[in-house]
Amino acid sequence: MEDQKIQLPSQEMLNMLIRQAAWDELRELLFEVHPADIAYLLDQLEPDDAVIVFRLLPLTVASEVLDETGSRVRQELVEQVDEERLADLLDELPMDDAAEFLEDLPDVKAARLLDLMEPDEAEDVRELLSYEDETAGRLMTRDVVALRRHWTIAETLDFLRNLEDSDSLHYLYVTDRNNHLIGVVPLRELIKAKSDQAVESIMRTDVAAVSVHADQEALAEMVARYDYYAMPVVDDDNRLVGVVTVDDVLDILADEATEDIQRLGGSEPLDQPYFAVSVFHVVRKRIVWLMLLFVAATLTGTVIREFETELETVIALGIFIPLITGTGGNAGSQTVTTVIRALALGEVQGRDILRVLGREITVALLLGTLLGLVGFLRSITWDTGYQTFYDVSIVVMLTLPLVVLWANIVATVVPIVAEKLRIDPTVVSAPMITTVVDATGLGIYFMLAKWILGL
Amino acid sequence: MEDQKIQLPSQEMLNMLIRQAAWDELRELLFEVHPADIAYLLDQLEPDDAVIVFRLLPLTVASEVLDETGSRVRQELVEQVDEERLADLLDELPMDDAAEFLEDLPDVKAARLLDLMEPDEAEDVRELLSYEDETAGRLMTRDVVALRRHWTIAETLDFLRNLEDSDSLHYLYVTDRNNHLIGVVPLRELIKAKSDQAVESIMRTDVAAVSVHADQEALAEMVARYDYYAMPVVDDDNRLVGVVTVDDVLDILADEATEDIQRLGGSEPLDQPYFAVSVFHVVRKRIVWLMLLFVAATLTGTVIREFETELETVIALGIFIPLITGTGGNAGSQTVTTVIRALALGEVQGRDILRVLGREITVALLLGTLLGLVGFLRSITWDTGYQTFYDVSIVVMLTLPLVVLWANIVATVVPIVAEKLRIDPTVVSAPMITTVVDATGLGIYFMLAKWILGL
C-alpha cells in the first residue's frame, strides 16, 4: 500500500527466506510487523508457504493473523494446522471473533475444536453461537465493563487498573444491582472528572442499546446513525449482556453490500467468501432465479409468436428485436439499481413514490428521445437492402422512448412497492426487470409497427 | 426502530403539536431525544414542518441535527434558514462535518457561509476544502491531541483536563518538536499507567498513518484492516496534521458501495443523494453507457441479418431469440457481479484468474445443462404448429449450455483483466456483459441451427 508509512517486507524477500529455510531471519523480519499486515502478506503467498510462515508466529500474533487472513489461506490453515494448536489460537481470540471463525467451519470440526478449547472460553463462544445468525447476540463480545453509579472516580480507576482484559474500554457502562443498563460513561469524561466525584455525576442516561435479537443490519444502521464506537447489547429485560464494537459493524456493512450486489446481479447471496463455497452451492444459489427468469423469458417468445405474421411480412423488424429489448433492459437496470440503493440508504422512502416516478419519467423521456434519434440515424444508414427499412426506422425511433419510459416506470414502482410491502427490495434484480421489460417492450414495438406500417 | 430501547416520539404526536402550535410542549418533548434521532424524526415530516421544528432547537443540538439529517430536509433547511444562523451552526460542527456540508452546496452559497463563520473555524474548513475530494485530507479533523514523549502521565492528564475540545480523545498521538508523528498512546493505557511514568514508556511506536493525499478507499481499507477507531493523517514530511475517525469510514464504505452498485447497474455514479441531483445530471450520468451499449446492441442486429436466410426458412428460430439472449445475459450478470464483488473484497486477485475460470466453467456447464433440459421440455410442449419445432427444440437444448458457458467466461475474464490493467473492474457492468453476450450468443445459436437443421 503506497499510502502506508510503515514499510512492509516485500513478497520477494519472504519467498527468498522461505526457499533458504532461514527461519530465524523470517521470525525477526516479522517481529515488528502488525498482525493485520502479516495476514495481508500471507494472503499474497502460495497457501503452503503461508502455512510455513504461520507456524513461526508466536501464539498471540498467530491468533490475530488467523482472524484477519483471507478465506483461502484460512482454509489451508484449518486443514494443515493441528487441532490442539487451533484451539489454543481460538482461546486467545476475542470471543466474537472465535465464534465467527467457528461458524464458517463444518459442524463436526467446530464441535471438536470447541471441545479442545478452555472450558470457560468455549462456554462463552457456545453462548454466542446459540443466538441466531446475523443478530447482535452473535456479533457481540460478552467482555463488557460495567460500573456502579455510586462508585467514585478513584474507585472506578482502581477497578479499571485491575482489569485483566481491557479490549472494550472505549465506553464504560453503568448498571444497577440487577445488571440493568442505566447509563454510559465515555472514557474521556472519566479522565476529566475529579477523583471524589461519583460515577452518576458524569454518566449519561440517554444510552441507546440494541436487543440481543436485533438484526445486524438494524444494528449497523444505529451505530452509523449515532456515530458510536460501541453499542451495548441488552436482553429482553434490559440487562446488559455484551457490547458490539464498530469494527464488527464495518464487517457487517461490507457483508450487507455484498448481499445487495449479488442479489442485484440476479442470484441469491453466497453468504461466504468466493473460494470458501463449493461449486454446487454456487449452482444452487444461482439456479432458482435463472430458472424463474428463463420461464419468464418464454413469455417474450410468446409475444414474438403473437406477431409472427407481421414478422414474416416485414422481416426487417426482426433485426431490431435485440436493440429494443437490450435498451429497455439497460435503462431498467440503471434505474432499478439507483432506486434500490436510494431505498437502502433511506434517501428515498415508500411515500416518495410519485416524486421518484416524476423524476424517472422525465429522465426516461430525455434518454429515450436521444436514443430514438440516434437509432433512427443508425438504421437509415444501415444498408440492409430491405424496401421497408425507412418505415421500420421510424417505428424504431418512436418505440425507443416508449420502451425506456416503460422500463423506468417498472424499475421504479416494483422496488418501492416491495419496500412498502416489507419485502426486501433487493430481490428485485436487474435481470428480473430486464426480463419483464423484454416481453412488454417487444409488445410495444410490434403494436407500433402494425399501426405505422399498416400491417 | 423496533430494536431500540429508547422510545422516540411518534410522527403523529409531532404533527399534532405542530398543528396546535404547541412550541413549548414540542421543545420539552425533544429535550431528551438524541440529535441523531431528531434528525431521523425530521426526515419523516413534511419538509416545511421539519424546518419549523428545527427552528425550536438549541444551537448545539441544531448543528448536530443539520449534520445528520437527510438530503431532502437538509436542502430545505439550506433554503429556509437564514445564512447568519447557518454559519453559527457550522461553527459548532466538527470541521470535517462542516467541510462536508459546504462541499455539497453551490460554490457561491458556500463562500458566503464561510465568510459569515468565525474566522478561525472558517480557516480550518477552507484548509480541508483545499485538499482533493475523496482524500484523507478532506475527511480528517485537524482537532488532534499530540503529546510529547518526555511528559509524565500526571502532566498528560492535566493537559487533557484543560483541553477545551475533546472530540477525538480515543487515541493520543505523540510527536517530536517538529511535529513528526512518533507514537500513539491508547487512552486505556494512560488510565492503567502510574502517574510518574513517562509517556514514552507506554507509547506504541508501530503507529500506522495515512498520507493527507491518500484516497478514501485505501484509507477505509486500512482502518478496516487494523480495526482502528481513528487513523492519524500526516503530510509529506510525516508531520501530524489531523485524524480521521471510524465514523467517517462508515460513511465512506457506504458511498463506495453506492458507487459500485450504480456502476454495476450500468450508469456512472451520481456522487450525491438521489433527490439532491438535477434530472439533467442523472441523464448525463446514464446516457454515456446507454449510448455505448445501444451502439454495441446494433451488433446483435447485424448477427441476425447475417443469418436472415435461415431465419426466413425456419421462422420458429426467431421465437427463441429472446430466450437465448436473456439467459446468456442473466447468467453473465450473476457471474460478473459475484466476481467484481470478490475482487473488491480481495477474495479474488488477478493471479487467481485460472482458478476462478475453472469454477465458473463448471458452474456454467451445470446450470446450462439444467436450463437446456428444461428448455427442451418447454419447447416440445409449446404448441406452435411449426413442422420444424422438434428440431429447433434440440438446437435450443444444445445452445443453452454453450451460451451460459460463454457468458460466464466473458463475465469472469473481463473484470479480472481490467483489475490487472489497473482499470476499476466495476466499470464492467452487468448491462455491458449482457450486451456483449447477446450478439455472440445468437451467433452460437444460429451456427448450431445451420449445422443441425442442415440449412
Each residue's pLDDT tens digit, B358-375: 999 999 999 999 999 988
Lowest-pLDDT range, A194-208, A363-377, B113-127, B269-283?
B269-283
Which residues of chain A make contact with B264, given a CB cutoff of 8 A? Answer: 261, 264-265, 337, 430
Give the pLDDT score at B336.
92
Choose from A270, A341, A366 for mutation: most chain B CBs within 10 A.
Answer: A341
Closest-CA residue of A relative to B400 is A294
Cell digits for A338? Answer: 439507483
Hey, what's the cell of B246? 471510524
Contacts of A337 in chain B (CB under 8 A): 261-262, 264-267
- pLDDT averaged over chain B? 86
**Alpha-carbon gap, residue A257 to B104, rounded angstroms:** 24
pLDDT (0 to 100) of residue B3: 39
The percentage of chain B sitting over the pLDDT mark of 70, rounded to a whole number, equals 95
**R_g over Cα of chain B:** 30
Among A181-185, B254-258, B362-366, B425-429, the least confident range: B425-429
Confidence of residue B416 (pLDDT cuts 50, 70, 90): very high
Residues of B with Cβ-Cβ distance to A209 under 8 angstroms = 5
Put residue A266 in one of left, alpha, beta given phi > 0 → left and psi -120 to 50 → alpha: left
Q: Where are the domains of chain B?
A: 11-139, 146-245, 274-453
DSSP string across A379-393: HHTS----TTHHHHH
Contacts 24+ apart (CB under 8 A), A225-231: A225/B36, A225/B37, A225/B40, A225/B68, A226/B34, A226/B36, A227/B36, A227/B247, A228/A171, A229/A170, A229/A171, A229/B170, A229/B229, A229/B246, A229/B247, A230/A168, A230/A170, A230/A171, A231/A136
pLDDT of residue B402: 96
Residue A231: which H helix or E strand, with range? strand A230-234
Nearest to B251 by CA among B276, B283, B281, B219: B219
- Asked if the model's pLDDT at residue B58 lies above 60, the reply is yes
Q: Which helix (H) or strand (E) holds A63?
A: helix A59-68
pLDDT for residue B356: 92
C-alpha span between B19 and B300 (Å, rounded):
60
- Kindly report, residue by residue over B326-361, the tens digit of the pLDDT: 899 899 999 999 999 888 887 788 888 999 999 999
Q: What is the mean pLDDT of residues B394-410?
A: 94
**What is the tens place of the pLDDT at every residue in B61-85?**
999 899 888 777 888 899 899 999 9
Minimal C-alpha gap between B115 and chain A (Å): 29
pLDDT-based confidence at residue B246 (cuts at 50, 70, 90): confident
- The cell numbers describing A205, all together, are 442516561
Is A340 within 8 Å of A264 (Cβ atoms)? yes
Q: How sure is the predictor about B166, in pLDDT bands with cuts at 50, 70 and 90?
A: low
Say yes or no for a CB contact (<8 Å) between B333 and A5. Answer: no
Among the partner-chain residues A298, A345, A378, the one whose CB lies closest to the CB of B254 is A345
pLDDT band, residue B43 (cuts 50/70/90): confident
**What's the mean pLDDT in B172-190?**
89
| CATH class (in words) of the domain with range A274-453 | mainly alpha
- With cut-offs at 50, 70 and 90, classify the pLDDT of residue B253: confident
C-alpha cell read off for B70: 437527510
B305 contacts A384? CB cut-off 8 A: yes
Q: Are strands A146-147 and A171-175 parallel, antiparallel or unpaired?
A: parallel
Contacting residues for B145 by C-beta, under 8 A, at least 6 apart: B160, B163, B166, B168, B169, B172, B173
pLDDT in the model for residue B435: 86
**Is pLDDT of B386 > 70?**
no
Nearest to B224 by CA among A127, A263, A254, A81: A254
Asked if residue B57 has pLDDT above 80, the reply is yes
Res A346: pLDDT:
77
Which residue, B263, B209, B200, is CA-closest to B234? B209
CATH of domain B11-139: 1.25.60.10
* Residue B199 pLDDT: 93
Dist. CA B265–CA A175, nearest whole Å? 49
Residues of A in contact with B6 (CB under 8 A): 206, 208
d(CA B227, CA A96): 14
Domain A146-246 CATH superfamily = CBS-domain (3.10.580.10)
**Chain B: residue nearest A156 by CA?**
B191
Pairing of strands B181-186, B210-211: unpaired
Q: Note whether A315 and B312 are within 8 A (CB).
A: yes
User: Does ipTM come in above 0.85?
Assistant: no
Measure in Å the smallest separation between the Cα of A89 and chain B Cα atoms.
19
In the beta sheet, which residues pair with residue B242?
B233
- The reported pLDDT for the residue numbered B48 is 87
Q: What is the mean pLDDT of each run of 10 residues along chain A (455 residues)?
A: 56 88 90 85 85 92 88 85 93 89 89 94 91 89 88 90 68 91 86 88 88 89 81 92 87 85 85 78 88 84 84 82 88 91 84 91 94 86 66 90 95 92 82 87 92 85
Tell me, what's the pLDDT at B110? 92
Q: Which of A166, A274, A429 to mutate to test the interface with B (most CBs of B within 10 A)?
A: A274
Residue A222: C-alpha distances to residues A75, A142, A174, A296, B29 (Å)? 33, 20, 20, 39, 21
CATH number of B146-245: 3.10.580.10
